[in-house]
Chain A
Amino acid sequence: MKYSQYIFIIILSGILNACDNSGGEVVNFDRQAMLTNYAENIIVPGYQVYQQEVANLETVVNTFTSTPDADNLNAVREVFKDTYLSWQRVSFYEFGPAMDQLLRTSTNSFPADFISIDNNIASGDYNLESLSNNDAKGLPAIDYLLYGIAEGEIAIVNEYVNSENSRQYLIDVIADMKARIDAVVTEWTSGEYSEDFISRDGTDVGSGLSMLVNTYNQHFERFTRDAKIGIPLGIRSSGIPIPNNVEALYSGISLQLTLANVRAIYQMYWGQSPVLSQDGIGIHDYLEALDVQFNGSTLSEEIDQRYSAAIDLLETIPPPLQTAVTDHQTAVEAAYNALQVLVVLNKVDAASAMGVTITYADNDGD
């Protein structure tokens, strides 16, 4: 396991968690300590890093829109990539304050609807809060605005030299992102959502663990496995690849983003803070305490290996992804299948072992 350099702190407290009404076994495990680790060491610091990146992005964009030139464009691009990576590390906590802000939908609905973006810029008349603009804003929009709005760096700089509407649109998109992450961080900190989350230490619907398990599973299935890899690969289009549906199409950093996302979810599973460089109590520890068996080994060991395998396979795909889905299909398929195995292990085996009901389903009922 690659993270052995982290200080390994496990606190197995003496608090007995007797039979939950959700049917978990009797184990020596402090769920509240786990939730505390998640809230204080992983989720809030992760959001704060992303929040800082967005603030940085706003600063460099202000410089760029005041003085559009190649150097300033590159400065924006660098911060943009850092922002996109830091987003990958928090995108799956879509519950509570993030849900209230529709954070993921507002921040990362891809592919970007460049036609709407162009129209919005041309008319100068748009309301970014309308649901119809979900895919005309956020990071995918910035990806287009910085790399795709014209052909080549010089043309892109000229776009911003010449068009006040374009400059304003870039500013407005970032303002929308900033308002939302600021609201989320405020809610978790001074809004005391952290305390609320930590206090819900059961496994029933509405408990901290249930929200976490449901949201990261839904994210892993629909966004990591499908949106980032499967749909561009052609899984939903009878095997016909759709390269233009990759994340970060214009900057070409799709695979970096996917890897950052999978790694972050893996670390979350371990209870490790990617920001504070420390290890803590996580779902992995809960599964260990429950001593869940799987195919001659433990479930936690199996999941651990599967995460490593998926990450290895993602790393062997030759970038950029939009080319790989047509030219290196086997490699992309292998990664997709590895992600699918994890979906099942997490959504079916791990969730039921922990006594957590998966409540999201593909919308079909009336």
Chain B
Amino acid sequence: MNYAGQLTRRDMLSAIKSEVSKGDKGEEVSSQVLLNMFANENDPFASQDLNTSGKELEDKTFLADVQWFKDLFLETENMSKAYVANPTEAADGVAGRIERGTSGKFILVNEKGWEYTQFIEKGLMGAVFLHQIYNTYLTDNRIGNDVENTDMVEGKNYTPLEHHWDEAFGYYGAPADFPRDDDDKYWAKYAGPALGTTPEQLDIYGALEDAFITGRAAIAAGDMAIKNEQRDALYKQLELAAAAASLHYINNAKADLSANDMGSLFHHLSEAYNFTMALKYHPQKKISQNDIDAILNTDYGTDGDFWTVSVTSLNDAMAKLIAAYPELDNVKDIL
């Protein structure tokens, strides 16, 4: 199996996250550095391997969202510089830093309470990783029945079809042995270890594990029917993971509201926001775009202003998600 390109891009996202989180620490963040990392220009990474990899995140990002992320990079720089010049505590309509509970951990948020570290990391997880799985690697172009599956890729021991399947797996984030632990990164983490449910209660991670493995074996055996079934399972379960992660963070947010912990509230809502937004990348998503927009622009606060959320509005968001993903109904309060 070879998914080096995907691993490289995962490392690039980690590097971007580290740079952005300097803002949370009260330091200045450079949008130029972020833009360079995004496009892999001007040797922006500490790792020479990344710099010379010939890979980048920008050209794999959902095209309509590229400018959104570049704007986030610039706003992060502006906010971080404003903070350094005049350290401010975040307030309604005022960007600044805010503590998560009494943990000693601070986050930098904009005037709506948006934590850009989460908006950028979780946002790119959707706009790059999930988008590529859905709209490149699992499409007929890459793993359709007609894709070459007999001759090996030159110099390798896998066929193009096998390789594309592996690349989809590479964007998922699990190690090849599906350990269900800290080594599960990105979507693999949110399909399993990060959720509040046990595998007995909900096992998206297990379903994805089965689909990836069974599909891979089917491809090796030349069984296109089973491969297509597993492909369908991957589409379905990855979508469910985004919905489940949204519900998980909504539950966290409700607890934060009850505890009057605004910092944790903004951190968790920032995650919920981006997991919900990621639902849009699925080419046949079960939830309507209208509902996604309503959740983002009303339920998560008026115009997405986290200072205006309420338990009622979050319950409305949950209701929309459960209506689209009824499989999650019986675990919605434990996620």
Binding site for B on A (CB under 8 A): 94, 99-102, 104-105, 109, 129-135, 205-206, 218, 222, 236, 360, 362-364, 366
Task: State whether the Cβ of B183 lies closer than 8 Å to any Cβ in chain A.
Answer: no
Verify A131–B259 contact, CB threshold 8 A. no
Tell me the minimal C-beta distance from B23 to chain A in angstroms.
17
- Determine, out of B95-103, B149-157, B215-223, B236-244, the stretch whose residues face the partner at the interface: B95-103
Pick the residue among A101, A130, A360, A363 that contacts B92 (CB under 8 A). Answer: A130
The chain B residue sitting closest to A366, CB to CB, is B194
Known: A105-B260, A131-B309. A360 touches B101 (CB 8 A): no
Chain B neighbourhood of A94, CB < 8 A: 258
Which of B54-62, B169-177, B249-257, B285-293 binds A? B249-257
Contact B254 A99, beta carbon cutoff 8 Å = yes
Q: Shortest CB–CB separation between residue B21 and chain A, in angstroms?
A: 12
Question: Are A105 and B257 in contact, CB atoms less than 8 angstroms apart?
Answer: yes
A101 in contact with B311 (CB, 8 Å): yes
Contact of A362 among B103, B254, B258, B308 (CB under 8 A): B103
Return B329 CB to nearest CB of chain A, in Å: 13
Sorted nearest first, the 9 A-B pairs with minimum C-beta distance are A132-B92, A363-B264, A105-B260, A100-B311, A363-B101, A131-B307, A130-B307, A130-B92, A132-B307
Chain A residues with CB under 8 A of B262: 131
The interface residues of chain B lying within 8 Å CB-to-CB of A360 are: 255
Question: What is the distance, in angstroms, from A80's C-beta to the closest C-beta of chain B?
Answer: 22
Contact B103 A100 (CB under 8 A): no
For A104, the chain B residues whose CB sits under 8 A away are 258
Question: Roughly how many angstroms separate A88 CA and B251 CA in the complex, as a whole number?
Answer: 26
Cα A102 to Cα B262 with chains together (Å): 13
**CB-based nearest B residue for A360:** B255
Q: A102-B257, A132-B307, A363-B261 are in contact. List 16 more A-B contacts (CB 8 A).
A: A99-B311, A100-B315, A102-B258, A105-B257, A105-B259, A105-B260, A130-B307, A131-B257, A131-B262, A132-B91, A132-B92, A222-B259, A362-B101, A362-B102, A363-B252, A364-B100
Partner of A363, one of B91, B103, B271: B103
The reply to whether A99 and B258 form a contact with Cβ atoms under 8 Å apart is yes
Residue-wise interface mask of B (90-112) relative to A, using a CB-CB cutoff of 8 A (1 in contact, 0 not): 01100000001111010000000
Classify chain B: how many residues form its interface, as a range. Answer: 20 to 34
User: For A236, what are the chain B residues with a Cβ–Cβ distance below 8 Å?
Assistant: 102
- Of B91, B103, B306, B312, the residue contacting A364 (CB under 8 A) is B103
**Complex Cα gap A360–B260 (Å):** 14
What are 20 A-B contacts defined by CB distance under 8 Å? A94-B258, A100-B312, A100-B315, A101-B311, A102-B258, A102-B310, A104-B258, A105-B259, A109-B260, A129-B308, A131-B307, A131-B309, A132-B91, A133-B92, A206-B334, A360-B255, A362-B103, A363-B101, A363-B256, A364-B100
Chain A: minimal CB distance from B282 (Å):
24
Contacts of B194 on A, CB cut-off 8 Å? 366
User: Residue-by-residue, is B189-227 near A (CB-CB < 8 Å gives 1, otherwise 0)?
Assistant: 000001000000000000000000000000000000000
Q: How far is the CB of A232 from chain B (nearest CB, A)?
A: 15
A218 to B194, CA, bound (A): 23
Which of A94, A99, A101: most chain B CB closer than 10 A? A99
Q: How far is the CA of A94 from the CA of B102 in the complex (A)?
A: 21
Chain A CB within 8 A of B333 CB: yes
Q: In the complex, which of the residues B103, B307, B309 has the most CB atoms of chain A within 10 Å of its own CB atom?
A: B307
Find the A residue at minimum CB distance from B194: A366
Q: Which residues on the A side are within 8 Å of B311 (C-beta)?
A: 99-102
CA gap between A179 and B129 in the complex, in Å = 46
A360–B264 alpha-carbon span in the complex (Å): 14
Residues of chain B lying within 8 A (CB to CB) of residue A206: 333-334
